[in-house]
Amino acid sequence: MGIFFSYILAYTLIIIFLVFAVDYINYKNSLKYFNTIDNVINHNEYLINDLYNKIPKNDYYGCNFIVYDENYNPIFTTDDDFFNDLNADNIEFIVDNTSNTSYKVYYLDNDERAYLVALVKDNEINNELQSYLILNKNLEIVGGDLFSDKKSLSSDQFKILEKNLIIGYDLKKCQYLNYNNEKRILVFANIDLTESQYLNSIDNYNINFYIIYILIVVLMILISLLLKRNLLKKIQPINKAILSYKKSGEYKINDEAILGDYKIIMDSFQDLTKELKKNQEDKERIIADISHDLKTPLTSIIGYSNALANNIVDINKQQTYLQLINEKAILANNLLNSLVEYSKINHPEYRLNLETINICELIRNYVISIYERISQKGFLVEVDIPEEKHLVELDKSLFLRVIDNIVDNSLKYNPSGTTLYFKLEAENNAILLYIGDNGVGIDAEIKERIFEPFITSNTARSANLGSGLGLSIVKKILALHDFDIKLVDDKKYKTMFLIKITRD
């Protein structure tokens, strides 16, 4: 498991835990304020079977209820001491939960009419004011139609109307029949949520989440610091290796000291250093080989020109010497041009001049353009190019250079009567271009190396490859296009190149 994944997983799990913990705390707090008698009534099957202990406590968390029989004898209570002040005479003054009403007490500034008790429905006084009660300071009824069978109220009865019998709680009742058709009266005491309590619960809810946000920020900072420390420790060996390589071209590294997530970077660095080393070796070999190849024509040019300058050449041979000087100069110039072109296309800022080309037409026109050159060498040509239109994106001039290099090698190192072969076919999302000849073929020992710069063995020079950078340039140009080239076996043609041209 990578260090990034480990830290992110730990951070995520901690955040999830904190969120759930705060959410659970807020849920518990909300139960105190928002549980109602309906939470208990919903467990109808337990109520009618007198199985009160099976009602989940979360459904009345922070609240209490008591159940009476038809004679107002308590048969179950959630708290034996909670309902001490409640008796049979007082239950009448508790509002039934189905009525959607409650009592509202108003204080009057009059000795004879001290209190107004009214029924409130949906938090509004009944417009007709038919259900109200007026009490004096002695709690004697002096007006109204509520409790018409009574002349006065007791202190506890008045407290029930004021919601002060059990301070901070509102009482509601529910009457029902159990499985034996016996009457049951359930009295539920839930917290009477005041405006300040409601606002306080909201504040607590917000405070809890502010705490979470602060903890998350702290955790982010802490984990970032820990991650930074561990990463710096683990990538230090890579940094040392880079600095060592920059200074001396050599480096040593302990793979076990590298963070697992960064081993792929170290592998890439090692591959890069190997490639840089190989490129450097190739450059040194190219310089050495081109120096060697230039030495012969330049030596000849110097020798022939000195002979001409010193008038030691027979007049009949002077033209021959001049022709040899010209040929050697052309050879040296071609070598230098190849080196310049190879350097140019290997430059990281080199860009292809891409255009959309009908590859079939391009190859046909090329064969037509070189037909005279082929005929002068005594070569034959066989073409298998379809009349269809196949569009590909490529750099036209560079791609023609690829084909020309292959053809030039064939013309240069094969005898008269050799047949050049061109074939093109479409395959899925690629075009396959075959270029071959039935000449002397390629020695098996160097087939694997034909695209390397400067194949200098005599076998290579006599086996259709030539010297210089020709086929290495071919490989490089095609690689820039994301095309591929390889040698393939063919029964009829001893040398057969296959260029795979990918297309979208």
pLDDT digit string, tens, across residues 81-98:
888 888 888 998 998 988
Distance (Å, rounded) from C-alpha 187 to C-alpha 179? 19
Q: Are 496 and 434 in contact (CB under 8 A)?
A: yes
Strand 183-191: give its sheet, edge to edge. Answer: 74-77, 64-69, 183-191, 169-177
pLDDT given for residue 498 in this prediction: 94
Strands 183-191 and 169-177: antiparallel
The CB-side HSE value for 315 (13 A sphere, CA atoms) comes to 0
Distance (Å, rounded) from C-alpha 287 to C-alpha 298? 16
pLDDT given for residue 393 in this prediction: 94
Distance (Å, rounded) from C-alpha 238 to C-alpha 252? 10
DSSP state string for 184-232: EEEEEEEE---HHHHHHHHHHHHHHHHHHHHHHHHHHHHHHHHHHHHHH
Please list the ranges in the chain whose pLDDT falls under 50.
1, 125-128, 456-467
pLDDT given for residue 499 in this prediction: 95
pLDDT given for residue 153 in this prediction: 92
pLDDT given for residue 321 in this prediction: 86
Q: Are 441 and 464 in contact (CB under 8 A)?
A: yes
**Tokens of residue 264, six digits:** 């792929």
Q: Which of 78, 58, 56 is CA-nearest to residue 67?
A: 78
Residue 23 Cα to chain centre, angstroms: 29
Amino acid at 119: L
Instruction: Count Cβ atoms within 10 A of the Cβ of residue 130 and give its class: 0-12 exposed, 13-18 middle, 19 or more buried.
Output: exposed
Measured on CA atoms in the order 270, 273, 277, 283, is the torsion positive or negative? positive
Strands (E), 166-264: 169-177, 183-191
pLDDT given for residue 456 in this prediction: 40
Q: Which of 486, 403, 490 is CA-nearest to residue 438?
A: 490
Instruction: Show the CA angle centred on residue 350, arms to residues 345 and 351, nearest 5°.
Output: 115
pLDDT given for residue 113 in this prediction: 75
